[in-house]
């Protein structure tokens, strides 16, 4: 059985939860593995500020010396920023091991969802979720994020699925897992760097209060699956988009040559795309995360108006 002493909840997050204030969970993999220092520190602090500016309390989640921490202090965020990729990249699969061994762990989408749900946080903001990789019909390389969305009732706000993945297969897996997927503000499902993937979303909603109401019904009916809210990247720069597309094709060719598989695939592809675009893809990444943080905080605020979250 999960024990409260295994989890350190910061005073400001605990107070917000007890008072029924809107709280937004944030992952820590983006700090340790997503970008170099000091950009990772600056981005993490910016994301928390955006959440606060939009009326919610940020709760960055990580594992420090074998204990789950919900709501990191600045020095803890700085510690993860400087440790970088030496910190264990922790998905749901890795949680028990990292905790048992007393290690530091940066939580991915799936692990952050599990922890947020355990402590009563309903909303979680990230950049983009993992998905079904290209060729997954033979490799079975499908992200734990999709499975966790099917069994953990958290509302995840993202910029869709990374364009390096197989988006149609990803959406099929989400449908099989019973996950409600909503695109905010447009009909086409977004693809991380790209506002549109060219694939029409099953559901699109134009008002944030309506999305919060959908999640409230999800919780009232005790559905086991989460809600995925896909938010298009705000800046639609065709020049950057074209260069990113070329970078993706180049990176996929290199990937095939190197025969990389598993958890090494996504970091390799994203780094090569960043190299190809001279860092412009990284800037766009930061922009979309900040935009998602604003949307996530507003959704949490709307949701807080429903009695008992429903």
Catalytic residue numbers, as ranges: 27, 162
Helical residues (DSSP H) of the chain, grouped into ranges:
11-18, 29-32, 39-53, 74-83, 95-100, 109-119, 136-139, 144-149, 167-176, 208-220, 238-258, 265-276, 280-304
- Report helix, strand or coil for 35: coil
203 φ/ψ angles, rounded to the nearest 5 degrees: -135, 130
The candidate with the shortest Cα–Cα distance to 231, out of 185, 180, 290, is: 185
- Report helix, strand or coil for 37: coil
- Tokens describing residue 308: 């008992």
The dihedral through the CA atoms of 20, 71, 97, 151 has a sign that is positive
């Amino acid at each position: 059985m999960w024990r409260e002493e295994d989890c350190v909840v910061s005073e400001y997050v605990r107070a917000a939860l007890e008072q029924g204030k809107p709280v937004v969970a944030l992952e820590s993999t983006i700090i340790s593995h997503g970008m170099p220092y000091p950009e990772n520190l600056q981005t993490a602090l910016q994301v928390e500020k955006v959440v606060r500016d939009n009326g919610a309390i940020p709760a960055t989640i990580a594992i420090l010396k074998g204990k789950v921490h919900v709501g990191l202090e600045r020095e803890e965020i700085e510690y993860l920023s400087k440790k970088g990729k030496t910190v264990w990249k922790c998905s749901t699969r890795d949680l028990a091991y990292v905790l048992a061994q007393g290690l530091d762990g940066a939580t991915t989408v799936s692990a952050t969802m599990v922890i947020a749900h355990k402590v009563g946080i309903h909303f979680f903001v990230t950049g983009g979720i993992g998905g079904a990789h290209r060729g997954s019909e033979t490799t079975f390389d499908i992200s734990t994020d999709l499975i966790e969305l099917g069994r953990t009732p958290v509302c995840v706000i993202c910029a869709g699925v990374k364009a390096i993945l197989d988006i149609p297969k990803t959406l099929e897996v989400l449908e099989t897992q019973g996950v409600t997927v909503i695109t905010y503000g447009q009909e086409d499902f977004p693809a991380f760097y790209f506002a549109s993937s060219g694939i029409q979303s099953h559901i699109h909603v134009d008002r944030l209060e309506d999305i919060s109401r959908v999640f409230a019904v999800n919780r009232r009916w005790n559905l086991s699956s989460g809600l995925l809210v896909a938010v298009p990247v705000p800046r639609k720069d065709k020049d950057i988009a074209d260069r990113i597309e070329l970078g993706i094709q180049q990176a996929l060719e290199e990937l095939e040559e190197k025969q990389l598989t598993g958890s090494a695939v996504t970091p390799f592809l994203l780094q090569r795309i960043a190299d190809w675009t001279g860092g412009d893809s990284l800037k766009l990444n930061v922009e979309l995360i900040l935009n998602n943080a604003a949307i996530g905080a507003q959704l949490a605020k709307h949701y807080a108006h429903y009695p008992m979250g429903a």
